[in-house]
Amino acid sequence: MSYTALVPEMGSPHILTPESQGATHYFFTHEPGAEAEAMARRVFLEEDEPMVAAQAEAMAGADFWDLRPVILPSDAAAIRARRRLMQMRKAEATA
């Protein structure tokens, strides 16, 4: 997994974007300064990355929907995006 620190001042977004079946880009931001950057990297390396890697291992390549995920209200946008991408892939495959 690769990571990139985003510099614009904003909340504290953490954005994961798939690169391939087994790789993901992880974008995040932090307050200005070397100390804040070091803390953000530590949090990524010691907390976020191990959690994401463990989840990927637990899924073992299974289809997302076959795992019957619990969908929270805060997941609505991501689920809409996932469904739209599925529609686009299906349309592309039949074209």
Map out the domains of the chain as residue ranges: 2-61, 69-95
Rounded distance between C-alpha atoms, residue 95 and residue 57, angstroms: 34
Q: What is the pLDDT of residue 3?
A: 55
pLDDT at 6 over 80: no
Rounded distance between C-alpha atoms, residue 52 and residue 14, angstroms: 12
Residues 20-40 pLDDT 10s: 878 888 888 888 889 988 988
Residues 51-74 pLDDT 10s: 988 988 999 889 889 999 999 999
Q: What is the pLDDT of residue 9?
A: 55
The conformational region for residue 52 under phi > 0 = left, psi -120 to 50 = alpha, else beta, is alpha
